[in-house]
Amino acid sequence: MMSLDECLTAAEECDAPMVSVSGGEPLIYPELENLVNGLLGQRRIVYICTNGVLLRRKLKRYISTLYKPSLEPTLQRLFDEKLISNDELDQIRSGGDAGAPVIRPSNRLFINVHIDGLEKTHDMMVERQGVFRECVAAIKFAKILGFQVATNTTVYRETDIREIEQLLDFFSALGVDGHTISPGYDYDDAKKAMAQRTGRRPEDFFLTRNATIDKFRGITDWTKKYNIYGTPIYHEFLAGLRDLTCTAWAIPTRNVRGWKSPCYLITDAHYPSYKQMLEQTDWDNYGVHNGRARDPRCENCMVHCGYDPSGALGIDYKKGDLWKNLKYNFAPKPRPSRDGAFINPFNGVSAKNEDKAIKQE
């Protein structure tokens, strides 16, 4: 486990404008509140990437610590929407540790919840019944409290794109602020985990480059209907409309072993400093250039952590790219989907026994 000081120092060392707090599951990190507040104090944008299972518990602690009578209308709404029980209402009203650090809503803070499909698909992917339903409840809870919430979805070979559109419709109508979508690619750790968990062949589960393009052909149309995070340039790349150069150095990863090289997905070395990682990694040995993979492990990768910053930085600039990025950043965002109100996302086995599914969490 990284110490709080290591985390905050790492952010200062690379001076990234945005920090994604991932894991494992960051909500179990004992210093999470101090970490998030420290990063916000450094004037950074912060993403808390969570599976959502413990999110409601964290939010209840927050509102309990800050309880005052003026919060009663909010508590009543949470109760009316069956997001808290009578017992939990009493616990919140009794107050929490007034001196305990909490995570408050901020325009520079996003709670980013992992969602890979509607109920049946998502619960199958995470191998646990009731997780999707809990995620929906936690997202509703967070939005009522005023937090910015995003969803994070990985698309695999078996993913039904029509289901992803339904997913986006549903969460858009729910008030989710935006969505991150990325292709599932067969990097080494993912292949090992898949083999251990399911015994399946990676090629039956993960996407090749051609399969990614086939899945994402409609993403440029999705961006007109949903607030999908990522540059328009990256979305054109996913749709097969252009090539991009990998800029893995633009989204560095710091973990317990040091600065990870060359990227979030592939590990060849760890360095004690950010500067050493930049200077000692031979970046020309990675990525795909002129249709040829410089490293066999990069052949099928089109993941946002390598290619989205290319679009932002203008690495493969084409006429009109600057205008596309300006429009993406400053034009009005798509309105919440009207279609989402007519979608029942609870299409799996846990929908048959709601009480059991919720109590499980």
Q: What is the DSSP string of 69-90?
A: GGGHHHHHHHHHTTSS-HHHHH
For 279-308, give the DSSP string: HHS-GGGSSEETTEESSGGGTT---HHHHH
Q: Any idea which residue has 């990676």 for tokens?
A: 202
Within 10 angstroms of residue 187's Cβ, the number of other Cβ atoms is: 20
| pLDDT tens digits, one per residue of 66-98 | 999 999 999 999 999 999 999 999 999 998 787
Task: Look at residues 211, 187, 205 and name the one whose alpha carbon lies nearest to residue 262.
Answer: 187
What's 337's DSSP letter?
P
pLDDT means per 10 residues, the chain with 361 residues, are 97 97 93 97 98 96 93 96 95 86 96 97 92 98 98 93 96 96 75 60 76 95 95 97 94 96 95 97 93 91 94 93 95 93 86 47 40
Distance CA 296, CA 209 (A): 13
Say what the pLDDT of residue 192 is.
60
Taking a C-beta distance cutoff of 8 angstroms, is the pair 155, 164 a contact? yes
199: left (phi over 0), alpha (psi -120 to 50) or beta: left
SS3 assignment, position 11? helix
Say what the pLDDT of residue 350 is.
56
Residues β-bridged to residue 19: 46
Say what the pLDDT of residue 163 is.
96
Distance CA 55, CA 50 (A): 8
| pLDDT tens digits, one per residue of 122-156 | 999 888 999 999 999 999 999 999 999 999 999 99
* List of residues 6+ apart from 22 with CB closer than 8 A: 49
Say what the pLDDT of residue 239 is.
97
pTM as predicted: 0.91
Task: Look at residues 139, 143, 202, 186 and name the one whose alpha carbon lies nearest to residue 167.
Answer: 139
Say what the pLDDT of residue 189 is.
62
Using only C-alpha atoms, the chain has a radius of gyration, in whole angstroms, of 21
Say what the pLDDT of residue 356 is.
45
Say what the pLDDT of residue 204 is.
66
Distance CA 203, CA 135 (A): 29
Distance CA 1, CA 29 (A): 8
Distance CA 235, CA 317 (A): 14
Say what the pLDDT of residue 360 is.
41
Distance CA 22, CA 77 (A): 30
Beta strand 253-255 with 178-183: parallel, antiparallel or unpaired? Answer: unpaired
Say what the pLDDT of residue 195 is.
58
